[in-house]
Structure 1
Amino acid sequence: MTAPPGQPGPAPAGLGAGYWRMFAADSVSSIGTVVSTLAIQFLLIDTLQADEQAIGLVRAAQWAPYLVFGLLAGVIAERVRRKPLLVAADLLGMTIFGAIGLLALAGRLTVPIVAGLVFVFGAVTCVSVAAYQSYVPRLVPERALPDAFARLEQMGQVVGSVGPVAAGSLVRFLSAPIAVLVDALSYAVSAVVIATIRTPEPPIVRGESRHLVAELREGARWVYRHETLRPYAFWLHSWFVGRAMVMTVLVFYANQELHLDALTVGLILAAAGVSGVVAAGVAPRLGRRFGVGRVITTVEWVSPLWPVLVVLAQPGPWGVAVLVVAMLLDGLTAMSASLMMTYRTAVTPDRLRARMNATIRTFNWGGLAIASFVSGWVASMWGSRVAMLAGAAILLVATAYLRRSAFRAAVLPVAV
């Protein structure tokens, strides 16, 4: 049974101490991740003299593990307890980014080494993200899911506004390797905080009939035979491809063609976090009132718009202003991000959630890996603007498809 789009659902329940510890851990590691994401790009550009193709290769390497291990990640996450898995993943993240930072400081880092290390990190992320997304519903009551995911999305947007500025400052006033080491430290802190969560997890069901291929098939069948999850998943896969075409070359474009330094780029990227905080904050209320499908299919029209503004930017103050407006528009998609996680979690049984998330993530980030490589190649052949316009075209087609699909009528279950 579902709540009508115009009728609010029940008041949300409390979130609990376990959730807030998870929130704190995710906040710290997310800041580090945003810092290292920008820092590694400047490390590649300034220290290793990488071109667009090399940047695309490194970005593709980070997400390529999803093409190999993505579907397995959900099965693995459902066969073990989630908390120890998340702690182990954070410790591995600390080790990997610590190695990148130290090798860079020692002058021993190369593009292939960066690609290899981020590939290993991507493999770790495959499993940890599947566990994380299905761990949150175990920390909060079902009715609190919209607010739980909305707060996480708000936090992500705050991090998105603070992290790039911090990254740009660290790169400019210290160095890119130091900024990467900050990310390594953030993973260590996150591991310690998650380890203190005391919320009990349900026992692992170990039936005799559990079969790897059957479990993979069941997770995929749930997503791609569901009336509303199917079009949502197809749209989201395309969205990741289109966005990757833009984001892979965005920093290179801003630095090399618009002549902006790391701090300025960080400040521009931070604008998305500012509007994103507001968008994520109003998402639960709008989702309950109008229906998640209507809200998402409306707000996502900004996805193909902001890359076009980026392409139109020219060197100078007006170009910076155009980029800021573009990032403010991009931040509005945070409204759909929290609603998407809430909806797909709410309509999926707990025993399938890790596999559902892993199935969707596999094709999202697998597509991102391929698109990142293609974007770097296109940019090296015809320029960054062509690569970003191709991404905008993909986003436009994907949004139009979602708008005409059954997902437009999607609403949250009454219990949520």
Structure 2
Amino acid sequence: MKLRENSSFVRFWIASTTSSFGTYITTLALQVLVVGNMGGSAVDVGWVSASRWIPYVLLGLIAGVLIDRFHRKTVLVITDMGRGIILVCICLLSILGVISIGWLMFLLVLFGALSLFHDSAYQSFVPQLVPRRLLTRANARLEQSAAVAETSGPAIGGGLVSLIGAPFALLFDALSYLFSGVLMASIKHQPVNKVKTGPLGQQIKEGLRWVYQHQYLRTLALNTHAWFLFHSMTMTILVSIVLIELGFDASLLGYILAAAGVGAVAGTSLSPRVGVRFGVGRAMAFSRILYGPAVVFMALALAVNISDSQYIALLFVVLGQLFYGFAMGIEGPLEMGYRQYITPSHLQGRMNATLRSINRSAVVIGAPLGGALADGLGFTTALWISIAGLTVCGLWFSLSPMRNARIEDDET
């Protein structure tokens, strides 16, 4: 069966695409809401943004256990509906003029908690919709949609905010989540048996043992945690470089960041074929190696800018973003497909939640660390530290047994 003939996957893909666009609209609309409508500062924006990720750090491992105890489609429907209702509340409170930074953070913590459960169930639900040999191809379709949303979502969000205002832009996203929930509810699939309840600590340990004692998954997990640390450092430093060192405005920053989305679209289009040609492990190793050189292009922009060649500096930054996004596009579907392929159904929720929670914890550390290094050592030195870290991750991955990983002879 081809993916387009799988009506359940097609419905899932449409629902996922719709909510992905809404997510990028919300990210921009919240920032405008805090600064423009509420008169908040940059610190307020930082606290509001961080509040969405707090549940990933605090509840990630527990979420994995609960996901494995319930039917994943039910979790997806409830969390989509819940997030839509929360955004409606934020919209109404904003229109009435009674919202505060504290209340907004509280609502976004709830929003983040629902997103945590949704993301864990989402990644664990795909193997119930498509045969395991098609997981890489299915994830490539989902990643393509996410990349398109990443590229065009901020622009659409900016247009909506300008046209109807930040509160009503959030309402638009609320409708996208409600639509996604309704569509998810209509999906027909064969549910897997729920995990038998037991001591919470024991089930968390079972998930951790699976992730960190598996021959290949252990290396993939540890390497990815380190990658997220240096990735978040890189992105923090890059934004500061573009706005402060190169002197570009926020709108141009949006286009620069969108270049990574363009590269990701190209990468996800090639990902299944690259996996077949070289094997999942070697294809992922190639991607991990590519990140370091991609950021070198961004570092060269600083050197070029010293000579007052601002447009050439811009070209180097865009090229770096394109290659960076391309590497992410190649790697994403292969990594997700491999994780889903080797993990038993009763451990899918715990595997996905464990990786996501620790990866997001690395972001919580890496993002401020990148900013601190940039302030203390300068943009160039901080960026080269990130390059060194990403390069070490690539070499570590390429020299590990993970490079030999395959998916049933990669018949994707």
Which category describes the TM-score, using the shorter chain as reference length?
0.7 to 0.9
* Aligned match for 2:127, one of 125, 133, 137: 137
Cα drift, residue 229 of structure 1: 0.7
* Aligned match for 2:330, one of 329, 335, 338: 335
CA distance 1:184–1:35, change in 2 (3 Å): same
CA distance 1:303–1:119, change in 2 (3 Å): farther
Q: Which amino acid aligns with 2:75?
A: L
CA distance 1:34–1:295, change in 2 (3 Å): same
Report the equivalent of 2:66: 76
Cα RMSD after superposing both structures = 2.9
**Cα contact 2:192–2:345 (8 A) shared by 1:** no
Take 1:250 and 1:40, find their aligned partners in 2: how far apart are those partners?
Answer: 22
Tell me the secondary structure at the aligned position of residue 304 of structure 1.
helix
Deviation per CA, 1:228-265: give whole Å up to 9, x if none: 11111011111112222233465565456655455433
Question: Matches of residues 232-247 of structure 1 in structure 2 within 5 Å?
Answer: 232-247=220-235
**Cα contact 1:346–1:413 (8 A) shared by 2:** no
* Aligned match for 1:50, one of 20, 23, 41: 41
Take 1:18 and 1:130, find their aligned partners in 2: how far apart are those partners?
Answer: 19
The answer on 1:155 being equivalent to 2:140 is: no
* Aligned match for 2:355, one of 328, 351, 360: 360
* Aligned match for 2:339, one of 337, 344, 362: 344
Tell me the secondary structure at the aligned position of residue 303 of structure 1.
helix
**Cα contact 1:293–1:411 (8 A) shared by 2:** yes
Take 2:209 and 2:120, find their aligned partners in 1: how far apart are those partners?
Answer: 17
Deviation per CA, 1:16-70: give whole Å up to 9, x if none: 111111100000000011222234345556664533x555444433222222210
Tell me the secondary structure at the aligned position of residue 408 of structure 2.
coil
Identity %: 36
Cα drift, residue 380 of structure 1: 6.2
Take 1:14 and 1:253, find their aligned partners in 2: how far apart are those partners?
Answer: 43
Cα drift, residue 287 of structure 1: 0.6
Take 2:237 and 2:86, find their aligned partners in 1: how far apart are those partners?
Answer: 24
**Cα contact 2:274–2:283 (8 A) shared by 1:** yes
Deviation per CA, 1:304-349: give whole Å up to 9, x if none: 3444544535595444433322221121121100000011111111
**Cα contact 2:262–2:325 (8 A) shared by 1:** yes
CA distance 1:106–1:23, change in 2 (3 Å): same
Report the equivalent of 1:16: 6
Deviation per CA, 1:276-311: give whole Å up to 9, x if none: 122111111111221111111112233234445445
Question: Matches of residues 206-221 of structure 1 in structure 2 within 5 Å?
Answer: 206=196, 210-221=198-209
Take 2:292 and 2:107, find their aligned partners in 1: how far apart are those partners?
Answer: 32
Take 2:401 and 2:312, find their aligned partners in 1: how far apart are those partners?
Answer: 41
Take 2:103 and 2:292, find their aligned partners in 1: how far apart are those partners?
Answer: 34
Take 1:34 and 1:385, find their aligned partners in 2: how far apart are those partners?
Answer: 29
Report the equivalent of 1:223: 211
Tell me the secondary structure at the aligned position of residue 190 of structure 2.
coil
User: Which has the higher mean CA deviation after the structures are superposed, 249-258 or 191-200?
Assistant: 249-258
* Aligned match for 1:265, one of 245, 249, 253: 253
Take 1:295 and 1:49, find their aligned partners in 2: how far apart are those partners?
Answer: 45
Larger RCO of the pair (alpha carbons < 8 Å, separation 6+): 1
Q: Which amino acid aligns with 1:163?
A: G
Report the equivalent of 1:3: none
Report the equivalent of 1:8: none
Take 2:113 and 2:253, find their aligned partners in 1: how far apart are those partners?
Answer: 29
**Cα contact 1:56–1:377 (8 A) shared by 2:** no
Take 1:389 and 1:182, find their aligned partners in 2: how far apart are those partners?
Answer: 41
Cα drift, residue 391 of structure 1: 3.8
Question: Matches of residues 163-202 of structure 1 in structure 2 within 5 Å?
Answer: 163-202=153-192
The answer on 1:409 being equivalent to 2:397 is: no
Q: Which amino acid aligns with 2:121?
A: A
Instruction: Give 1 or 2: higher helix fraction.
Output: 2
Cα drift, residue 270 of structure 1: 2.2
User: Which has the higher mean CA deviation after the structures are superposed, 37-46 or 74-83?
Assistant: 37-46
Take 1:75 and 1:35, find their aligned partners in 2: how far apart are those partners?
Answer: 31
The answer on 1:298 being equivalent to 2:286 is: yes
The answer on 1:36 being equivalent to 2:26 is: yes
Take 1:353 and 1:232, find their aligned partners in 2: how far apart are those partners?
Answer: 16
CA distance 1:251–1:178, change in 2 (3 Å): farther
Take 1:103 and 1:385, find their aligned partners in 2: how far apart are those partners?
Answer: 43
TM-score by length of 2: 0.86
CA distance 1:367–1:170, change in 2 (3 Å): same
Cα drift, residue 187 of structure 1: 1.1
